[in-house]
Amino acid sequence: MLDDITARRRSMSNPVLKNLRTTQLQEQLRFISFEASQHRLMRTRQIQHRRDALSDYQQQQRETHSRHTEALASLENRHLSAEVDLNRTLELERQACETRLRHMQAYCSPTSTVQGMPDRVVTKSDYRQLEQQYHLRNGMDNLHASRINVLREKQGKQIERIMAKQEAELEALESDFEHQNEDLDKKFREEERQLQHEFAERKKRLVARWNLAEVIERRKLEIQTGDEYGELPAVKWSHDTLEAKEGRNGARDDIHAVDVAYDAMNMI
């Protein structure tokens, strides 16, 4: 055990092995910096994807709302025109009814006999028809109001159907956006897993190269000096390098910011 400690101390004080360890630590810093830059690059790309998806969704929402508003305005105009046409038709019916009533009143009036013409015989049937005409005129207001109400009820149901269809379209648009976000989440998790795996493999190869270089240098020294040189302490790696961890946390923070913007937009 004492020999092992002595051999390790000999290695740690040797200029060649110290220079080798310095080179390794410099490579480690470059490795960590490169890993962090790749995480930041991935984060930037993912955030842009989310922003693009949100921007597209907002644009689709605006276009859909505009199209729905125009459709409802056009429908209301058609409904108004239909009611105006119905009122015009009902007024013509009223005028026709009044005209028929005046003619029948004149026919059934004894004073309406033209001089020099034979007396007109007004029958009970004529009076019944006159009475029916009075009844028809008196009930015309209620009849016309009923027909207008029927038209408005029909139009109201049509508007309800259109609005329900529009609401379903907006809900489908939102559902598609949520599914798209879920797909992006899966894609981003897979990208991060692949990136972590790639750098884990690179780290293994780097450490293996360091170990081989150390073994070769120690063997050279042992041949040159006849002394035994022990293994250098392993280069320490944190489980999560600070730069890479900050890169991933920053990605989550930026993604959360985009999600908050989407939630706030839906609350308006």
Q: Angle formed by the axes of helices 242-267 and 15-108, to 10°? A: 10
Cα distance between residue 245 and residue 242, in whole Å? 5
pLDDT tens digits, residue range 186-231? 999 999 999 999 999 999 999 999 999 999 999 999 999 999 999 9
Domain ranges of the chain: 2-267
Q: How far is CA 121 from the centre of its chain?
A: 82
Asked whether the predicted pLDDT for residue 245 surpasses 60, the reply is no
pLDDT at 70: 95
Q: What is the mean pLDDT of the chain?
A: 83
What the block records as the tokens of 148 is 């207008």
Asked whether the predicted pLDDT for residue 113 surpasses 60, the reply is no
Q: Which alpha helices (H) appear in 109-139, and where do they start and end?
A: 124-138
Asked whether the predicted pLDDT for residue 263 surpasses 90, the reply is no
